[in-house]
A and B are shown apart, each in its own frame.
Chain A
Amino acid sequence: MSMEKELEQRIEKIQKGGKQKYHDSNAEKGKLFARERINLLFDSHEILEDGLFANALAEDLPADGVITVTGKINGQTVCAMANDSTVKAGSWGQRTVEKILRIQETAERLEVPMIYLVDSAGARITDQIDMFPGRRGAGRIFYNQIKLSGRVPQVCILFGPSAAGGAYIPAFCDIVIMVDGNASMYLGSPRMAEKVIGEKVSLEEMGGAKMHCTTSGVGDVLVDTEEEAIQFTQKYLTYFPANFREKPKQIAPVEPKTFDKPISEIIPENQNAAFNMYDLIDRTIDEGSFCEIKKRFAPELITGLARIDGRSIGIIANQPRVKGGVLFTDSADKAAKFIQLCDAFEIPLLFLTDVPGFMIGTRVEKQGIIRHGAKMLFAMSEVTVPKISVIVRKAYGAGLYAMSGPAFDPDCCLAFPNAQIAVMGPEAAVNAVEANKIAKLPEEERAAYIQEKQAAYKENIDIYRLASEMIIDDIINPDQLRQALISRFSVYQNKNKQFTERKHGVYPV
């Protein structure tokens, strides 16, 4: 055989991955071959692969179970790794780990996004001394991820399991996309849980995609198919620059979708009635530009990437339709991470505020709502990107602070004409201050007295008074919100700010 022919045959064999029966069982579950995933993700087939021959002398370990490549997505150079679950269930040996480390180091040198296509059973226990504890062991993958965090975007798509130590790959990514039914994350499998702690539980219940995207918040985006996961990743990356030194690209602007009712007609006058914040978002942003993160987790707070006038922004919005838009421990965590993500990659922030405050009561105090809320305030304060705060309807208590109120150095704080800013709402305030007096009044006089006190309170916190005191910077017509945001984000884009000089803050985690 000629030397060229031999090379060709060897390459062909490796590129086929593991045994056919594993390809078949994957196909039954709707899972694509790792190389197909890569081909779908990248712009063309011009993909540079290193380490194809890793462990080539072992008969059954083509590429040592991981494919590491550099290619282009949306014209932007990107590095990626993809576990091949047809090779020993995508488990990690010494060369698997070394390949992942090298592609991470390439992403670091080139300062380009790093994508993790995860589908792996975890460590090859038979190889543990070679791949687990050492300086170039699996721990180094996480160390590299942490070093890359905030330097370049890191995205994880979970196509299958991500078990034990491997579950930390998604944990250190900016975003985790999970394919429903196949993706899972867990430190110990259900089998192990039964043996070690006596718990009987299914994989789906303990570490399935729905659970993680709804309850634990370790997953960010739930999708039905692998193709959908890949399309989401391609769209997500369009909002980001290649690294922290650059700014996101501005694209051609698109007008918002048109609706019969303008913003001024969708917000109920009654401060206590629910309305759907998505209706306001849709009327403000470029049509089709909303890319929501953590939609199913803590839905009382909406976080998502969007475009206004073709410019990437991050939206943090209270959702009065869910739990009254009250902030909870999970919503505060969700906000903190999203704010950090946007700030790291120069994506300006828009806060849409309609918040009755942080939740009170025994349950949330036991959960540590004070320290969770502190995280949100911490992240929001440290931001150096442009940030605009819009008081849509109300901002009560620490809710005002968490949503980038005036004291937290927003570039501007705008309010709609019916907005209320106060320590608490009129009902609660009158009750707090006047409770004893009300109790002493004859029954028939109480209602009138309460009404009078509430009216006086409302006058005291009237938005024109707050504007007169220069607490807010402007009162705007709700139907001119988009225009105001276009002008202001355009003006603030060259903002130059350093938060403060220090090594780093002491985070209230």
Chain B
Amino acid sequence: MEIKASMAGNVWKITVQQGEAVEEGQDVVILESMKMEIPIASEEKGVLKEWKVQEGDFVNEGDTIAIVE
């Protein structure tokens, strides 16, 4: 499953490392947009397989941030 950016912004903080297990609804990354912290959660339980972004990157709405399997 792909985790996607809910809105345009900067990747501020990655809170789960590659290879770590994630729960459904767990925040995996916090974007920074409109001066707000925007937590993005995994919609499914699984393992964080791959990060597609690094902290500091700009992402647009709908861009893939990470892959959870």
Any chain A CB within 8 A of the CB of B16? no
Contact partners of A325 in chain B: CB under 8 A: 36
B33 and A326 form a contact (CB under 8 A): yes
Q: Which of A321-337 contact B (CB under 8 A)?
A: 321-326, 328
Q: Which secondary structure dominates chain A's binding surface? A: loop
Contact partners of B36 in chain A: CB under 8 A: 272, 274, 320, 324-326, 356
Q: In angstroms, how far is the closest chain B Cβ from the Cβ of A152? A: 38
A324 and B37 form a contact (CB under 8 A): yes
Q: Which of B22-51 contact A (CB under 8 A)?
A: 33-39
Q: Which of A425-463 contact B (CB under 8 A)?
A: 425, 427-428
Contact partners of A273 in chain B: CB under 8 A: 37
Tell me how many residues of A have a C-beta within 8 Å of chain B. Answer: 20
How many interface contacts (CB-CB < 8 Å) are there between A and B? Answer: 41
Any chain B CB within 8 A of the CB of A359? yes
**Are A274 and B39 CB-contacts (below 8 A) given A357-B34, A359-B34, A363-B61?**
yes
The proximity string for A residues 171-213 relative to B, scoring 1 for CB distances below 8 Å and 0 otherwise, is 0000000000000000000000000000000000000000000
Q: Which of A320, A324, A425 contacts B33 (CB 8 A)?
A: A324
Any chain B CB within 8 A of the CB of A125? no
Any chain B CB within 8 A of the CB of A129? no
A-B contact pairs, 13 of them (CB 8 A): A274-B36, A274-B39, A320-B36, A324-B34, A324-B36, A324-B37, A324-B38, A326-B33, A326-B34, A357-B34, A360-B34, A361-B8, A428-B35
Q: Which 8 A-B pairs have the closest CB atoms?
A: A324-B36, A356-B34, A323-B7, A326-B34, A425-B35, A324-B38, A356-B36, A323-B6
A-side interface residues toward B, CB under 8 Å? 272-274, 320-326, 328, 356-357, 359-361, 363, 425, 427-428
B-side interface residues toward A, CB under 8 Å? 6-8, 33-39, 60-61
